[in-house]
Amino acid sequence: MATFDRRNLLRAGGGLVAAATVTTASAAAVAQAAPGPAQLTTRNPLVEQRADPFITRPVNGMYYMTGSVPEYDRIVVRGASTIDGLSTARERTIWRRPASGKMGGHIWAPELHRIDGKWYVYFAAGDSDNVFGIRTYILESSAEDPRADSWVLRGQMITKWDTFTLDSTTFEHRGKRYFAWAQGEPGIATNSNLYIAEMASPLAIKGDPVRLAVPTLPWEIQGFKVNEGPAVIIRNGRVFMTYSASATDARYCMGLLTADERSDLLDARSWTKSPQPIFTTNDATRQYGPGHNSFTVAEDGKTDVLVYHARDYRDITGDPLYDPNRHTRVQRLYWNEDGTPSFGVPVGKGGPAVRFSPLDAPNLYVRHYEYRLRVDGDVRELADSQFRLVAGFREPGRVALQSVNFPDRYVRVVDPMTVRVDPYDESDAYGRAASFVQVPGLADGGAVSFRLATDSGTYLGHDNGRFVAVRPGGSYRDRQRVTFRTS
């Protein structure tokens, strides 16, 4: 792309005053995404071949993780002081199934919880003569570290029916502890439904279970009629329960139940099921069958993190339950202006996905719409506003902005008034138009600005909702319009 005729550039603030002199970003700065809590991990997947992942909130400065292993024969725990550190942390086997008899079959979906100073693992197990005769069992440990050799089997979690039971979780709300799980109920022709009950202790429920959801919607009954894998997060005056649905191949997806936090959670009428799935297979990012999630928080203690598994390919030979490559993944969970969770798409391989907000309009985000960039508020299509900072295409010290939901597309300046996410091509013109110099924000050194590689005085900026290439004027307001915070 040729250098623009400066007379035709958008004149922010009505002037062509040169921007403050800045230096080219170092190679190290190019390789590192913008700072902030959104940098959850640079690894994707986080842990390979660990399905049904569960990561605790930090306990005494440590995250602990468990999940299903492909052999379905044991329960493992790993720990690290950061989420990223879980990727390489040494794993400890805390329990193995017996060689035969009860619990000698498939071992599935363990969850690890700290309750009243003790650790508990809720897990599903079949018997050696009926590996799918799944029931829920409980391990207990009084040790400070759940990796310690101190686990005791406490027996089965008894529910109303002695039927297929799995994917148990627990949460506390308004002074009560609840148990939520999936089970097959006699008389209902489904594989599993969702239930909730109050807990009498960490080892038992009290009262009859309350049925919250039955798979009836088209996306819940693909291959199998399944509602399973409940996970709870309480925010913004509501209790949100995610769950997974359909067969465990590329059709696997996540749904959402919502209740007012002041309502009776043991009244099924308190809960509303979202009519559409909230997290699904994405061909563009090559992530298939996302589901069986949990929630944790980033190291800042406040940024919510979605934990889930997915595969990197669609086609599976044989029963998908025996395909080992459901990998643990993490990404930031965002929130819409109305307080509901915004999941986006399962992101593909690469570094952190970030959003950019103009310094002078912190409630707006840079996003693409029909591939053209603009600045909007309350972006419901989260992934339209997520980008990755990657190395530029030509000279060293440059960055490119990769679309998260269209990874083959990068931000490219077509002309001063038109900035798009366009498919990559190998031409020099594309490389110049899609490469930028990342510098400290012109209006705030803790934020970022992006200078065009082809013109040292021109930056990416916004103007009344448009996203443009602009030569900022000398005023602070002009510099704000080319300065962006990341989240």
Residue 12 has pLDDT above 50, yes or no: no
State residue 311 phi and psi, 5-degree precision. Answer: -105, 165
> So which residues are the catalytic ones?
52, 228
Query: Distance between terminal CA atoms of the chain?
Result: 31
pLDDT at 277 over 60: yes
- Return the CATH architecture of domain 6-36+352-486: Trefoil (2.80)
Q: What are phi and psi of 304, to 5 degrees?
A: -75, 145
Domain ranges of the chain: 6-36+352-486, 51-342
Per DSSP, the residues of 126-172 read EETTEEEEEEEEEEEE-SSSTTSS--EEEEE---SS-S-EEEEEEEE
List the Cα angle 39/455/385 in 5-degree steps: 30
- CATH code assigned to 51-342: 2.115.10.20
| Average of per-residue pLDDT across 154-175 | 98
pLDDT value, residue 456: 93
410-436 pLDDT tens trace: 999 999 999 999 999 999 999 999 999
Q: What is the pLDDT of residues 90-107, one digit of tens each?
A: 999 999 999 999 999 999
Each residue of 347-386: pLDDT tens digit? 998 888 999 999 999 999 999 999 999 999 999 999 999 9
d(CA 327, CA 46): 7
How much of the chain exceeds pLDDT 70, in percent? 91
Distance CA 351, CA 372 (A): 23
Phi-psi sector, 57: left (phi>0), alpha (psi -120 to 50), beta: beta
pLDDT of residue 43: 67
Q: CB–CB of 343/330 below 8 Å?
A: no
Asked if 214 and 188 count as a contact pair (C-beta separation under 8 A), the reply is yes
For residue 266, the number of C-alpha atoms closer than 13 Å in the C-beta half-sphere is: 13
467 contacts 374 by C-beta, under 8 angstroms = yes
> Whole-model pTM?
0.91
% of the chain with per-residue pLDDT over 90: 89
Confidence grade of residue 40 (pLDDT, cut at 50, 70, 90) = low
Q: What is the pLDDT of residues 60-92, one digit of tens each?
A: 999 999 999 999 999 999 999 999 999 999 999
Distance between CA atoms of residues 123 and 110, nearest Å: 4
Contact call for residues 328 and 45 (beta carbons, < 8 A): yes
